[in-house]
Chain A
Amino acid sequence: MYKGIKHPTTMNTNLTTDDFIRGYLSEDVDSFRKTIYPNTEDFKKTLSNIEWDNFG
């Protein structure tokens, strides 16, 4: 068994590196992505260039 592995907690999202690794390696990686940014409306506010209003 390899003993050297560390899973530090350094992410701002309150998720640990360990959580990230598990999330990204899981079969349902799409769901994991949604847990990082669960609210699409909030996320959309961080985008400045897509002109949502010009379209239906």
Chain B
Amino acid sequence: MKPILDKKYKIYEFEIFSLNTIEKIYGKGRKYGVGKFISKLYKRKICLQSVDENDSHLLNKGYVYLPHSEIVRYLGVNKKDGEYEWKTILKSLSKRGIVSYKREGNNPYDSNKKLYYFRLSDDFDNSKKTYVDVESNTLNKFISKQNSKYVSELSKGKGLDIFLLYELDVCIKSTLSIKDLDDIIDLRVNNKLTEYRDKLEWEWLGKRQRKKIYSKLVDEEVFIERYKRLLKSKYEILQIDLQNLRDGNYFDLSTNYFKRDEYGYRVYNIFSRCIREYRSFIKIDGEETIEVDLKNSMISMLYYFIKLLNDKPNKQSGLVKDVYNKLIQLRDGEINDVWLGLPYLQRWEYIKDYGDKFNNDYYLFLKEESGFENMSRNSFKELLWLILFGRESQLKKSINLNKHKYNDLKHLLLGSGRFLVEDITKIDLYKWNKKNYRRYKNTSLILHTIERLVMETMSTILIEKKYKYISIFDGFIVKKSQSEEIHKLLNSRVSSIDKVFTFTLK
């Protein structure tokens, strides 16, 4: 069948830079092209923006990526007065303070060229805006063709693997509607402020992080106002994108929601970046939902990884085998139980046997056992994660815990498992994550890969039983009416991988 050619797609029009203004400056022919460009940058920026930004990363400074083919399509491919139209318009938009741009990363098709990242002025966040029809046949036809191309690729088995495809299918018939949005936003803001205040109580928190939190709390009113606006805009854009999904308008989605990351190959869908306060309103096929989560996921993965590592060498495969061989190389051909973390496993056998006593909350148990009774659970959990995943050179400077030195702390938290965790950051696992590879991230890479392994094994079971689900990293959003049976099923299956894993209903 042919693409739908008479369909009108929609864009945001902003009061501060209206379509009429665009037409006056760039001519009738570029009116909707430039309008679409601005609208796309706005949606993507809001969608990807986080309030806890890591300032060093371009994305978190509000910069978003747009492929060259789209830039050229919206801003003009022809040459005028010796310069491409898209370049002239970009320069003009930049001069007017509408858009700034940077070039970073490498173009996969031409390593000499950098990719374009754009940042739309913050003035657009505050501007009045309306969602209007695109009155340009050529642009509408272009979008329609892009949608056909997308589905045609899917149909040929390209683009999305079966797990992504399954979730796309479920998300198409999902909704997220909040009647009292302002109340839920207030709840989220309060939760965030409480989280910040709690963090300031953590005695190990470094100066830089402390400063970041203070900068938000000092001008609390300004922060609250800005955060509320962001949450409201995120909600609006999610509504638009859910409608886009229902309409099969995949090309107009604010960002590439359905994808895997380079980091353990985790699955992302339209709700992955959605705050948990919103997530509880998700409906699948019009039915209320509930989350079934893998309890203590990361720390359980650490245990399970060490268990796989200590398995018979002929039973090992892939990543674990590679880690095992490289650890031996690192120790000049010798390896012993301590270096492979075996005593740490034995400690866990105890935890597994007596887990019921502390409601199978491994963080709580480890906290008590390491002698940090006075520390809050969240503080302990974050500290443990930092020790596992952080960069040692940075942590030595930033962790401050009274009399404890960094190495003592590591020993308290990980026992003899610390030797293994230290060794892992020294081996080369480049071939398992070629993008932005850093050795200090090895533990994180391994644990995320194993988490994906466990979750995808569980996904397979849900798909086989025809249960609809939306995955959120270490959990599944499922229909409330099926939650009990799914919970039971998942637990019976996951415990056959290892007793350490348990799913809980939230």
A: residues with CB less than 8 A from B are 1-2, 4-5, 7-8, 10-13, 17-18, 20-22, 24-27, 29-30, 33, 36-37, 40, 43-44, 46-56
Contact = CB atoms under 8 A, between A and B. Distances in A.
B317 A26 contact: yes
B355 to A, nearest CB: 16
6 closest cross-chain pairs (CB), A and B? A2-B310, A25-B318, A24-B453, A55-B151, A49-B172, A26-B318
Interface stretch (B27-35, B117-125, B160-168, B471-479): B160-168
B1 A53 contact: yes
Contacts of B452: 24
Contact of A56 (B1, B154, B321): B1
Interface in B133-189: 147-148, 150-152, 154-155, 157, 161-163, 165-166, 168-170, 172-173
Contacts of A26: 317-319
Given A50-B172, A56-B152, A13 B464 contact: yes
B496 A52 contact: no
Contacts of B240: none
Given A11-B493, A55-B248, 10 more contacts: A1-B312, A5-B308, A5-B310, A8-B496, A20-B453, A25-B320, A43-B162, A46-B466, A47-B169, A54-B1
6 contacts: A7-B315, A21-B317, A22-B318, A50-B151, A52-B155, A55-B150
B496 to A, nearest CB: 5
Contacts of A21: 308, 317, 453, 497
Nearest to A5: B311
Say what secondary structure dominates the interface of chain B: helix
B349 interface: yes
B3 A55 contact: yes
Nearest to B166: A47
A13 B162 CA distance: 15
Nearest to A15: B460
Contacts of B307: 2, 4-5
B457 interface: yes
Contact of B148 (A5, A29, A50, A56): A56
B460 A36 contact: yes
Contacts of B315: 5, 7, 18
B499 to A, nearest CB: 10
B451 to A, nearest CB: 10
A51 B248 contact: yes
A51 to B, nearest CB: 6
Interface string B320-361: 110000000000000000000010010001000000000000
A49 B457 contact: no
A29 B265 contact: yes
B449 interface: yes
B96 interface: no
Contacts of B450: 25
B310 A1 contact: yes
Contact of A50 (B3, B163, B168, B432): B168
A1 B307 CA distance: 10
B461 A48 contact: no
Contacts of A47: 165-166, 169
Contacts of B155: 44, 52, 55
B310 to A, nearest CB: 3
Contact of A27 (B2, B157, B318): B318
B342 A2 contact: yes
A36 B162 contact: yes
Contact of B464 (A12, A17, A27, A49): A12
A56 B371 CA distance: 64
Interface string B293-324: 00000000000000110111001011111000
B4 interface: yes
A10 to B, nearest CB: 5
B461 A12 contact: yes
Contacts of B172: 49-50
Contacts of B449: 24-25
B276 interface: no
